[in-house]
Amino acid sequence: MMKKAAIIILFLASFLPMLFVHSCANTTEAPSGGQKDTIPPVIVMIDPLPGETNFPLEKGKVVFTFDEYVSIKTPTNIVLSPPPAKPVTSTVRGRSVVVEFNEPLQENTTYTINFPDAIADVNEGNLHPGYTYVFSTGDQIDSLYITGVVRDASTLNPHAGARVLLYKDHSDSAIFKSRPYAAAITDKWGFFAVSFVEDTLYRLYALDDANNDFIYDPATEQVGFIDSLIRPVHTVNDTVKELMKYDMTDTIACKAREAEYDIQLFKERNRKQQLNNTGRVSDRVAYISFTAWDAWIDTLWVGGYPADRVITQFNRQMDSLEIWINDLRPVPDTLHLFVNYRKTSDADTLMPFFEEVKLVNPVPASVRYSRSHLRNLKHEDTTCVFSLEAKPENVEQNGIIFKFPVPLISEQFDSVELTSLNVRQVRNRETFKVERDSMNLLQYVLRPDNPFNPDWEYILRVPQGAFRDINGFYSDSLRIPINLPKGDALSKLVLNVTGCRYSYVVELMDQNRRVLRTYEIDSDRTLTFPYLEEGSYSIRIFEDRNGNALQDAGSLLEHKQSEKVKLVVFDEETGGNVLNIPPSAEVEETVDLEELFKD
């Protein structure tokens, strides 16, 4: 009885102060010409009162009455925990929201009803900050809670609307086949509190629950988990700031909440390997794709073409293969591709499998060689087209990148000219080296032998016919200026990286989390980020243990988290990860990777 009274007191303490302020400033309809109503609706009555025990197992309902007319914005955010097979029904009746249960409740069980970002007032759409209502079908209310935050494993951004799940069943299969013992929803800051739970050991998961069924579907949903079993240690009371509901625009209050657990969501890679998709893009271009990364092809050939006339290239994930026919003879409408590869068997092992794929040209020969089609061909349809990437801010690091849509059969980079014009207006021809990109045979990188001078002007000239592709087409001429950024207000960041034990990818991001520059490192280095405008920046680093420059996702059944990603902390006192760069400055920072990734 004392515990129930404490819960009622907690409820009254939560909403009565808001009611006092609200009743002075808000009406159900904003007066003409008056100030806009910005105050959210307030609960003024709940029937039955919070902390109700011996709640009926069947045909129960809870009525939440507000101080104004409301609407239900997001019905799926009104969640009963433990979640039933049939979701609750919520309806608006006057100023009340009625929550009804569509199946019998469990005996001797503590339940909560949570509704963050679910209810708003009718006139202005001001969202109610949310509420946690508790009742029990037994004689007592469980009183422990846990807190945490759910974030995206790649960006570390908070994930709003994720379902957080507690399981008493510790088996790996529980999340795939059964609903949890208790659940909560993360708010706009990714924060959650699962409250009024009993003292025992749990598995803790988070889901981006696309169909709101509280069961994990690896084909469509993201998942996150805590490696070890957890046990709640904190007791619910009316002074716990983590259990209070806040306006999500109140940054200080929302950030002040302490999270016990940090769960990072990732999309698991498909483990079942088989051919997934095939296509013919044009006469000499086709592709095949697989359901999982790291496809294993033993042999591949195209009917009617010797091996030296077929060019192939996997993407970085090795789940998609591009195929080009390097033969100037007319190509048939249908190419017959034969693939010996490793496919996942019924026993979940990779076994040799042979498959024939018919690759049909989307434009048949009767159309391709018709007069009307030939008459409508554009210049680029019969030209070896290419593009150049030479962004001023990173051309020093990346070089000048030539990008082609199909492989070349001849290239004459010795006919390309890179000239410089110094401050005395003296023109020089610069020497350079060209290499094909080791990860992409459609890209070539030109790097001058002498460093670019920020005070000089550069011109790159590509003569006509310098390149010829597998279609037999020659390239047009091209002339582009290449210059480094100029401006006295530009700054530079120097990052001394120590404690490098594996391969890492280091990314400089602006305040919008747009990646400006990337380094791949496998040893201690000093990294330079030049030409920065005044503003706020952050550094994101992820472990790349297999050296593929990709952040590999985790595996739930293997108890394997995604490759770790961290934001560099620039302010040890506050934990701030934003670095403010002033104008005309050289800023030097040091990051110890061993310290950064120690947890």
Q: Which residues are 509's β-sheet partners? A: 515, 538
Same fold, 380-482 and 491-596: yes
- Tell me 593's DSSP state: H
Say if CB 442 and CB 409 are below 8 A apart: no
User: Is the Cα torsion angle 396, 400, 405, 406 positive or negative in sign?
Assistant: negative
Specify the CATH number for 1-141; select among 3.40.50.620, 1.20.120.80, 3.30.70.360, 2.60.40.1220. Answer: 2.60.40.1220
- pLDDT value, residue 373: 85
pLDDT tens-digit series, residues 363-372: 998 998 898 8
Give the containing element (helix H, strand E) for 366. Answer: helix 365-368
Fold for 380-482, please state it.
Immunoglobulin-like (2.60.40)
Instruction: Tell me what the pLDDT averaged over the chain comes to.
Output: 91
| Residue 282 tokens, joined | 């044009």
Determine the average pLDDT of the residues in 69-87: 92
CATH number of 142-267: 2.60.40.10
Q: Which CATH class is domain 275-368?
A: mainly beta
Confidence of residue 24 (pLDDT cuts 50, 70, 90): very low
pLDDT tens-digit series, residues 260-285: 999 999 999 998 999 999 999 999 99
Domain positions in the chain: 1-141, 142-267, 275-368, 380-482, 491-596
Q: Scanning the structure block, which residue is given the tokens 């088989």?
A: 274
pLDDT exceeds cutoff 90 at 14: no
Determine the average pLDDT of the residues in 570-586: 90
| 3-state class (DSSP) for residue 73 | coil
Range of lowest pLDDT (14-23, 191-200, 421-430, 511-520): 14-23
ω into residue 392 within 30 of 0, thus cis? no
Q: Percent of the chain beyond pLDDT 90? A: 81
Confidence of residue 23 (pLDDT cuts 50, 70, 90): very low
- pLDDT value, residue 203: 97
- pLDDT value, residue 3: 52
pTM over the 0.75 mark: yes
- pLDDT value, residue 4: 52
| Residue 383 tokens, joined | 């030209």
- pLDDT value, residue 22: 36
Q: Kindly write down the DSSP assignment for every residue of 521-552, as one continuous string.
A: ESS-EEEEEEEEPSEEEEEEEEE-TTSSSS--
- Tell me 375's DSSP state: H
Report d(CA 88, CA 76) in Å as an integer: 9
Fold for 491-596, please state it.
Immunoglobulin-like (2.60.40)
Q: What angle do CA 86, 88, 94 make, to 5 degrees?
A: 155
